[in-house]
Amino acid sequence: MSGPRNTGIMQSILLNDGHSIPSVGFGVFQVPADGSTFKAVLCALQAGYRHIDTAAAYLNEAEVGQALRESGLPRNEVFVTSKLWIQDYGYEAARAGIRSSLEKLGLDYMDLYLLHQPYFDVQGAWKAMEEARDEGLIRSIGVSNFTPNLWKRHVPHFATLPCLNQVEFHPFFQQRELRALLAQDGVVLAAWSPLGHGNAKLLTHPLVTTLAARYHCAPCRLILRFELQEGCIVLPKSTNPDHIASNLKLFDFTIEDGDMNLLRALDTGKGMRDPEEAGRAEDLLARYRVHP
């Protein structure tokens, strides 16, 4: 894996399968499919985002696709990520789930498709994703919410190494053990909840606000810039046009090494959710249904 490289306003990271991914994406988790997703994604694309991150379980893939079409941007200029939900795990169900995502998005292919959660028939779902990649329906394949233990349990049985693992990551939870494990195979970490779900304790932490003032930026921008310099892909989300634009302005300053070390010291080693928690899989399956 290479580090970020300049491509104008945006930077990209080279994945271990040879494809490149923009280092900043626009996330749409919990953005309703009542026109809100369409408006937010179109605003993001107009602001300069070229990476949109959605999922079958978000139930807003169709509005993401609508915004892509309305933007007028060439397909090859926008990197689209979606995710297979656990309701569609298993080989045959996953093949149908992949085609469902493509149909809702209105796309011939997705740039990146992920196993959304590490539960149930992971192996069958991964095999279907490998085949869909070989058929040209997906460019790159990866996983999400894989802890070090879950990575060691499942990935050695995959024929193809994932190129990316999308997990919770922010200054309070820096995933040190997982990042060391992924680095062995050049696997990129993408950060969902890069601002800690808007955690006030993070955004108003004295160190964060002090450094934000020093670098003449908002605390959100400082945190996102820290994560980029740590080699992560960041996926901020917002429906506020000003915040959407501001969260993309991350390439006009660099945090100095000493300040990076201060931010690294904020790590608590604990996240908001534990994917290995008993009953987690069943709870998620009951909470999110992508079809009857």
Average pLDDT of the segment spanning 198-213: 96
CA-based nearest residue to 83, from 110, 65, 62, 56: 56
Please give the DSSP secondary-structure letter assigned to residue 166: E
| Strands laid side by side in the 138-144 sheet | 26-27, 51-53, 79-84, 110-115, 138-144, 164-168, 188-192, 233-234
Please give the DSSP secondary-structure letter assigned to residue 17: T
Within 10 A of 216 (CB to CB), how many other CB atoms are there? 10
What would the two tokens of residue 193 be?
Answer: 């909840």
Return all residues near 287 (Cβ < 8 A) that are at least 6 apart.
none
- CB 236, CB 53: distance < 8 Å: no
In the chain, which ranges are E strands? Answer: 5-7, 10-14, 20-22, 26-27, 51-53, 79-84, 110-115, 138-144, 164-168, 188-192, 233-234
Please report the DSSP string for 224-286 in residue order. Answer: HHHHHHTT-EE----S-HHHHHHTT--SS----HHHHHHHHTT--S--S--TTSTTHHHHHHH
Q: Does residue 252 surpass a pLDDT of 60?
A: yes
pLDDT of amino acid 198? 81
Q: Tokens 């397909």 identify what position?
A: 75
- CB 171, CB 266: distance < 8 Å: yes
- Residues 151-195 have pLDDT tens digits of 999 999 999 999 999 999 999 999 999 999 999 999 999 999 999
Calculate the alpha carbon distances from 239 to 27, 32, 97, 108 in Å: 10, 10, 28, 27
Calculate the alpha carbon distances from 82 to 65, 190, 221, 243, 261 in Å: 11, 13, 25, 23, 33
pLDDT of amino acid 4? 39
CATH class of the 22-286 domain in this structure: alpha beta
Q: Does residue 51 surpass a pLDDT of 50?
A: yes
pLDDT of amino acid 137? 98
pLDDT of amino acid 193? 92
Among 49, 58, 89, 113, the one annotated catalytic: 58
- Residues 85-132 have pLDDT tens digits of 999 999 999 999 999 999 999 999 999 999 999 999 999 999 999 999
Q: Please give the Cα distance from 106 to 66 (Å, whole number).
A: 8
Q: Which of 44-53, 80-89, 189-198, 252-261 has the lowest mean pLDDT?
A: 189-198
Average pLDDT of the segment spanning 216-240: 97
Q: Does residue 7 surpass a pLDDT of 70?
A: no
Q: Please give the Cα distance from 91 to 128 (Å, whole number).
A: 5
* Active site annotation includes 49: no
Q: Name residue 147's amino acid.
A: T
pLDDT of amino acid 9? 62
pLDDT of amino acid 5? 37
Under DSSP, is residue 209 helix (H, G, I), strand (E, B) or coil?
Answer: helix
Q: Is 10 left (phi over 0), alpha (psi -120 to 50) or beta?
A: beta
Q: Tokens 């200029």 identify what position?
A: 77
Q: Name residue 42's amino acid.
A: L
